[in-house]
Structure 1
Amino acid sequence: MAASAGRNVVLTGFMGSGKTTVGRIVAHQLGWAFLDTDALIVARHGPIHAIFTEHGEAAFRAHEREVAIEAAAGWQQVIATGGRMMLDPPNAEVLSATGRVFCLIVDAAEVYRRLQADPDGPMRPLLAGDDPATAIARLLDERADGYGQFEQVPAAGRTPAAIATDIINRLRS
């Protein structure tokens, strides 16, 4: 892995795309540390839905920026980011400076299916309302250009292990 030695690996993509699951596998296979930015925010500030409810989205985004700077300072770690974190230019800039960024790609139907199976799926603040499937499709459409700036890794219909192998092979090439 000469080209990527010492650098971080950053996973981005929409909620439910598998960033955390795939990130853990990649980190294990590389022998690197794993960091989930949302988990770090929750550990420091409480549940994400509570942050949104009590302090607003702007407060959550400020926490993301703090965590992005901290994560970028690390070395040889796999960083799973929140679904919108890398769409904030300062976050993308700081994390891209010390890591190779991969965007896990899934379609709206796959996201909806995965979130229905996730115990925390209904707690996602950006999906609150009567029609989460429509919200997912709208958000994916709004974020398409932002996600498009990163190296794309198809995630739909593939196992987390297959996605992790794909990422590791890309790192080695």
Structure 2
Amino acid sequence: MPGPLDAPVVLIGPMGAGKTSVGKRVAKRLGVPFVDTDKLLVQRHGPIPALFEARGEAHFRGLERDAVDETLRRGATVVSLGGGAVLDPATRRLLRDVRVVCLTVSPEAVEARIAGSDRPLLQHGGIEAWRRIATERAPLYADLADLTLDTSHRPLSHVVDDIVTWVGTDTP
């Protein structure tokens, strides 16, 4: 059993990498709360595609930054961020003092995971839009990550095991 978690563990990465699925399992194993900032935003402000359409991406990123800041202040929590949260410089600064795990996934593996998605940045482009977005954001993910794990072909249980072990041995 890992040692007590005293600071947040944040999962970042492209859409479809498994941040929410992995995050829920890691939180359960560590005995701490799980927060998905996208779900938090939906609860407070309505569907994300509608927010993008009505107010634009810049407004959405500001709401997202506020949700990340609030969530990180909770302390021992596993937090899943939306794929684009790292685009905001202030959000990136918030992530500098916490454990950050980047989950990656190959385009081939993600294609089935995001099929039929209503995610706003995929509305007109499917997997090609995903490739472009993932490529643009990859340097930001890499810069922030303390640990990077590929979820393309590994069982989620193995990814969860790796994170729980790392949290138990890492000092933020």
For normalisation by structure 2, the TM-score amounts to 0.91
Quick check: 2:5–2:30 contact (8 Å CA) kept in 1?
no
Q: Give the aligned CA root-mean-square deviation in angstroms.
A: 1.4
Q: Distance in 2 between matches of 1:96 and 1:46?
A: 29
Indicate the residue corresponding to 1:28 in structure 2. Answer: 28
Indicate the residue corresponding to 2:41 in structure 1. Answer: 41
2:152 equivalent among 137, 145, 156:
156
**Counterpart AA for 1:124:** R
**Distance apart, 1:161 and its partner CA:** 1.5
Indicate the residue corresponding to 1:77 in structure 2. Answer: 77
Q: Distance in 1 between matches of 2:13 and 2:82?
A: 8
Quick check: 2:12–2:81 contact (8 Å CA) kept in 1?
yes
Q: Distance in 2 between matches of 1:71 and 1:96?
A: 15
Question: Partner of 1:35: helix, strand, or coil?
Answer: strand
Which residues of 2 match residues 45-60 of structure 1 at below 5 A? 45-60=45-60
Tell me the number of residue pairs that the alignment of Structure 1 and Structure 2 aligns: 166
Indicate the residue corresponding to 1:127 in structure 2. Answer: 122
Q: Distance in 1 between matches of 2:112 and 2:93?
A: 32
Which residues of 2 match residues 80-99 of structure 1 at below 5 A? 80-97=80-97, 99=98
Question: Partner of 2:152: helix, strand, or coil?
Answer: coil
Q: Distance in 2 between matches of 1:170 and 1:63?
A: 31
Percent identity of paired positions between Structure 1 and Structure 2: 39
> Which aligned segments of 4 or more residues in structure 1 are displaced greater than 2 angstroms?
86-89
For normalisation by structure 1, the TM-score amounts to 0.90
